[in-house]
Amino acid sequence: MRYFMELQYDGAAYFGWQRQPDVATVQGTIEQKLSMLRRVPTEIVGAGRTDTGVNASFYVAHFDSDTPIECAQLVYKLNKVLPADIAIIRIYEVEATKHARFDAREREYTYLLTPHKAPMRRFSAWHYAVELNVEKMNEAAAMLLRYDDFTSFAKLNSDNKTNICHISHAQWTVESDGTLRFTIRADRFLRNMVRAIVGTLVDVGRGRYSVADFEAIICSRDLSRSSAGAPAVGLFLSDVRY
């Protein structure tokens, strides 16, 4: 039997989602507690990787079991033993062939940037005090939907078989308190891709690049042309769609 698990986590204390030896990861932490409660080694498969320090307000993983599980009870027990920065939302049975990673049609990331000191968002938003032209940033973001090769925003020496991604949405909005929210959706993302895009769009907003420059950076397929990646603190995986 296969079970899907919906969860959220604050990634500040972890070296990303994926299990690694000798360092704390979200996957490794959940597997350890899940195996302890079930008294049998239990591996989980996630919807995708998130990098060191990146958060998830909505994440999906799956695991298999030879025996039926009382889902609500397992959610309760996991939340009792997991650290405060990881929360299980729900667990439910799915078809045995359904896969948390390979069946995902679209993933959504959100990036938060605050132009003023915000104590309540010090662990969830990038404090960037320079005035930004959001209209220009949105003009540039719209260019992302015209292309599918994002080598210019792909981390070097990654194990990607392809740098092709299909972006369906990319937009900045301004919240009532002045926080800038960037939302981007695609069928897949490359390592460090969203942070590199955000960093480069911010440079458009501050006037370092024009919209035409941003398009030229995409077309160049050259990582050295893009800006430094935005800090991990403001980045969230916010949705996975099946």
Summarised one tens digit per residue, pLDDT across range 209-221 is 999 999 999 999 9
Number of domains composing the chain: 2
Give the span between the Cα atoms of 205 and 166, in whole angstroms. 24
Give the span between the Cα atoms of 223 and 197, in whole angstroms. 11
The three-state secondary structure class of 178 is: coil
Residue 146, pLDDT score: 97
**Got the DSSP string for 105-116?**
-EEEEEEEEESS
| Exposure b/e, 141-177, CB count within 10 A at least 16 = b | bebbeebeebbbbbeeeeebeebebebeebebeeeee
Pull the structure tokens for residue 115: 């132009």
Q: Note whether 63 and 30 are same-domain residues.
A: yes
Pull the structure tokens for residue 83: 């650290």
Confidence bin at 122 (pLDDT 50/70/90) = confident
Per the domain annotation, does 102 fall within a domain?
A: no
Catalytic residue among 51, 148, 187, 222: 51
Q: Note whether 121 and 229 are same-domain residues.
A: yes
82 in Cβ contact with 219 (< 8 Å) = no
Long-range contacts made by residues 145-150, C-beta under 8 angstroms, separation at least 24? 145/169, 145/170, 146/215, 147/218, 147/219, 149/218, 149/221, 150/190, 150/193, 150/197, 150/218
Residue 182, pLDDT score: 98
Residue 86, pLDDT score: 98
Give the span between the Cα atoms of 233 and 235, in whole angstroms. 6
Q: What is the mean pLDDT of residues 43-56?
A: 95
Q: Note whether 68 and 120 are same-domain residues.
A: no
Residue 118, pLDDT score: 83
The CATH number of the domain where 125 resides is what?
Answer: 3.30.70.660
- Radius of gyration over alpha carbons of the chain, in Å? 19
Q: Note whether 172 and 60 are same-domain residues.
A: no
**Which residues constitute the domain of residue 62?**
2-94
51 in active site: yes
Total-model pTM: 0.92
51 in Cβ contact with 193 (< 8 Å) = no
Q: Note whether 40 and 115 are same-domain residues.
A: no
| 30 has a pLDDT exceeding 90 | yes
| 156 has a pLDDT exceeding 80 | no
Q: What is the mean pLDDT of residues 84-92?
A: 98
The three-state secondary structure class of 66 is: coil
Rounded percentage of the chain residues whose pLDDT exceeds 90: 89
108 in Cβ contact with 184 (< 8 Å) = yes
| 157 has a pLDDT exceeding 70 | no
Per the domain annotation, does 152 fall within a domain?
A: yes
Residue 158, pLDDT score: 65
Q: Which residue do the tokens 């959940």 mark?
A: 30
Per the domain annotation, does 61 fall within a domain?
A: yes
Using alpha carbons only, give the angle 206, 16, 113 rounded to the nearest 5 degrees.
Answer: 25
Residue 120, pLDDT score: 82
Q: Note whether 67 and 143 are same-domain residues.
A: no
Summarised one tens digit per residue, pLDDT across range 124-135 is 999 999 999 999
Give the span between the Cα atoms of 228 and 72, in whole angstroms. 43
Average confidence score pLDDT of the chain:
95
Confidence bin at 119 (pLDDT 50/70/90) = confident
Q: Note whether 32 and 138 are same-domain residues.
A: no
Mark which of 26, 59, 94 sits at the end of a domain: 94
Summarised one tens digit per residue, pLDDT across range 50-73 is 999 999 999 999 999 999 999 999
